[in-house]
Chain A
Amino acid sequence: MIDSLAVIWSIGRKDLLLELRNKDVVVAVAGFALLIMVIFTFSLNLSQDSARLIGPGVLWSAVAFAGVTGLNRAFSLEVEGNTLEALMLAPVSRDLIFLGKALGNFLFITVALVVVLPVFAVLFNLVIFRWEMLAISLLTTVGFSAVGTLFAAMSVRVRAREVMLPLLFLPVVTPLIMAAVESTSHMVNGRSWSDMSEWLQLAVAFDVVFLVVSAFVFQHILED
């Protein structure tokens, strides 16, 4: 158990180190998400009521679209540096490699959210710094990184992978986006945990299913 965690952490830490040096993914995801939100604020002509109504949807669509661009980088770096083979040669099981890469992506999206959420609060003039928001963000990020890591590993060898990843990723994470948007909108409308509990349960179920299924099928993706 401790050994497995050590493997997951060392793969995650490797990605984190690379990211600390070039800051490719976090800057891309955060910058892209911010731009999407800014464009929406101009094209929607916001009032305080309409901000509450459409703000959550704008936030999570921006994070989903921007997240895809970051996820694309996760495995393309491995392929460009020919390090994917090295990773596959490592004497550890494939599900741990998956969890390590997913951990890296989880950390990147989390850092990007730390930048994006305050700007969202300012642009849409909404109070979002509450425990509910922490739970929603964590659950959504876990699901995004689980599904995203799996599909990024699959589409890395496809021609036109920039097109392929969103086409695979977005329909599959739609239930999670719905959960994130609905529970955020409960939160900004001042409702309690019990109102959003069903959506949070759905997000938990999504995360568990896709972490387990993705880790399980990852051996088929990194074969030969």
Chain B
Amino acid sequence: MTKVLNFLDPLPIVSAVLMGVALWLIFIWVPTEINQGAVQRILYFHVPVAWGSMLGIFVVSGSSIMYLWNKNEKWDRLAVASAEVGVVFGGLMLLSGMIWARPVWSVWWTGEAKLTTALILFFIYVAYLMFRAYFPPGAQRQRLAAVIGLIGAANTPIIYFAANLWAQAHPPIVTGPAADAESSLGSDLGTVLLVSTLAFTFLFIYLLQIRLKVRKAEDDIIELKRNSGTHAPISQAPPDQAQSTEARGTS
């Protein structure tokens, strides 16, 4: 029996402990930054979730290429699970970035290169997930989704280059508090960022693992239905059930 949630796993425990330490460091231990004030603490969330969304894109691209290469379903499951978690992290990155930018840059959004790139990539991976939701399940959906993953990866450097050129032509209008005082944080900032990034990386892997298990269970159900014939309910087909338990045990 594949169990989706298991609280005795080391992964959720490590994520929770690290997250607790990160929260303590961010809100109690680290001093307030002189120039930006309390808002600067958003950085300690923003950078780790941005890293998580990047990690998600890397895993989607890598496993899409692997799937096209050897057609092993586990790569497809890894790609979709990673796209889902990556899109959630990407959404959090965009939101936390905007909340930070409003007081510091006095705009919610601007044409800065990294922002533009992140937003376009976010849309590409949302389209990836929507495509999967609209397409009937099967090997064809997995192949086509892998192609989108590949296209997104091929496009990333072009988008970044274009966004950079665009930002040079239209300098972002930013009128935030000027950084007149030397930042008082020094190496503290690095420490907090490191712990927080580690915590969010573990959270990313944990969420990825949960989604992978759910995907595996979904595939198992499809397999069960296929083995038991299209019309007979699973409960009335004991021999097939035995067969599928066997199949699950070996996979």
Residues of A within 8 A of B (CB): 147, 150, 154-155, 157-160, 164, 167-168, 170-172, 174-175, 178-179, 182, 198-199, 202, 205-206, 209-210, 213-214, 217, 220-221, 223-224
Partner of A175 from the list B127, B162, B169 (CB cut-off 8 Å) is: B162
User: Do the beta carbons of B154 and A213 come within 8 Å of each other?
Assistant: yes
Residues from chain A with a CB closer than 8 A to the CB of B165 are 178, 182, 198-199, 202
CB distance from A68 to the nearest CB of B (A): 13
Residues of B within 8 A of A (CB): 68, 120, 123-124, 126-127, 130-131, 134-136, 139-140, 143-144, 146-148, 150-152, 154-155, 158-159, 161-163, 165-166, 169
CB distance from A192 to the nearest CB of B (A): 16
Q: Give bound CA distance, A178 to B120, whole Å.
A: 12
CB distance from B131 to the nearest CB of A (A): 6
User: Do the beta carbons of B166 and A164 come within 8 Å of each other?
Assistant: no
Partner of B162 from the list A178, A214, A217, A221 (CB cut-off 8 Å) is: A178
Please judge, given known A-B contacts A157-B135, A182-B166, whether A217 and B161 are in contact too, CB under 8 Å.
no
CB distance from A224 to the nearest CB of B (A): 7
Instruction: Give the interface SS of chain A, mostly helix, strand, loop or mixed.
Output: helix
Partner of A158 from the list B131, B152, B162 (CB cut-off 8 Å) is: B131
User: Do the beta carbons of B161 and A221 come within 8 Å of each other?
Assistant: no
A-B contacts, 13 listed (Cβ < 8 Å) = A147-B151, A154-B147, A157-B135, A164-B131, A167-B123, A167-B131, A171-B120, A171-B124, A175-B120, A175-B161, A178-B165, A202-B162, A206-B158
Q: Give bound CA distance, A209 to B135, whole Å.
A: 26
User: Do the beta carbons of A159 and B127 come within 8 Å of each other?
Assistant: no
3 nearest CB pairs, A to B: A175-B162, A171-B123, A167-B127
Please judge, given known A-B contacts A157-B135, A182-B165, whether A217 and B155 are in contact too, CB under 8 Å.
no
User: Do the beta carbons of B158 and A223 come within 8 Å of each other?
Assistant: no
Residues from chain B with a CB closer than 8 A to the CB of A213 are 150-151, 154
**Contacts A175-B120, A224-B140 given; 10 further ones with Cβ under 8 A?**
A154-B131, A157-B135, A167-B123, A178-B163, A205-B158, A206-B158, A209-B154, A214-B151, A223-B140, A224-B139
Residues from chain A with a CB closer than 8 A to the CB of B146 are 220
Q: Give bound CA distance, A199 to B168, whole Å.
A: 12
CB distance from A187 to the nearest CB of B (A): 14
CB distance from B171 to the nearest CB of A (A): 14
In the complex, which of the residues B134, B139, B140 has the most CB atoms of chain A within 10 Å of its own CB atom? B134
Residues from chain B with a CB closer than 8 A to the CB of A171 are 120, 123-124, 127
User: Do the beta carbons of B134 and A160 come within 8 Å of each other?
Assistant: yes
Instruction: Identify the closest chain B residue to A158 (Cβ).
Output: B134
In the complex, which of the residues B139, B144, B146 has the most CB atoms of chain A within 10 Å of its own CB atom? B144
Q: Give bound CA distance, A154 to B131, whole Å.
A: 9
Residues from chain A with a CB closer than 8 A to the CB of B166 are 178, 182
User: Do the beta carbons of A159 and B158 come within 8 Å of each other?
Assistant: no
Residues from chain B with a CB closer than 8 A to the CB of A223 are 140, 143
Q: Give bound CA distance, A72 to B166, whole Å.
A: 30
CB distance from A193 to the nearest CB of B (A): 16
Partner of A159 from the list B120, B134, B161, B162 (CB cut-off 8 Å) is: B134
Instruction: Identify the closest chain A residue to B71 (Cβ).
Output: A220
Residues from chain B with a CB closer than 8 A to the CB of A160 are 134
CB distance from B236 to the nearest CB of A (A): 31
In the complex, which of the residues A159, A178, A182, A205 has the most CB atoms of chain B within 10 Å of its own CB atom? A178
Partner of B127 from the list A168, A198, A202, A209 (CB cut-off 8 Å) is: A168
Q: Give bound CA distance, A178 to B163, whole Å.
A: 8
User: Do the beta carbons of A220 and B147 come within 8 Å of each other?
Assistant: yes
User: Do the beta carbons of B134 and A175 come within 8 Å of each other?
Assistant: no
Partner of B159 from the list A150, A175, A210, A220 (CB cut-off 8 Å) is: A175
User: Do the beta carbons of A154 and B162 come within 8 Å of each other?
Assistant: no
Residues from chain A with a CB closer than 8 A to the CB of B162 are 174-175, 178-179, 202
CB distance from B155 to the nearest CB of A (A): 6
Residues from chain B with a CB closer than 8 A to the CB of A198 are 165
Q: Give bound CA distance, A206 to B165, whole Å.
A: 14
CB distance from A71 to the nearest CB of B (A): 15
User: Do the beta carbons of A158 and B135 come within 8 Å of each other?
Assistant: yes
Q: Give bound CA distance, A209 to B159, whole Å.
A: 12
User: Do the beta carbons of B68 and A220 come within 8 Å of each other?
Assistant: yes
User: Do the beta carbons of A172 and B135 come within 8 Å of each other?
Assistant: no
Please judge, given known A-B contacts A164-B130, A175-B161, A202-B161, whether A182 and B169 are in contact too, CB under 8 Å.
yes
Q: Give bound CA distance, A155 to B123, whole Å.
A: 17
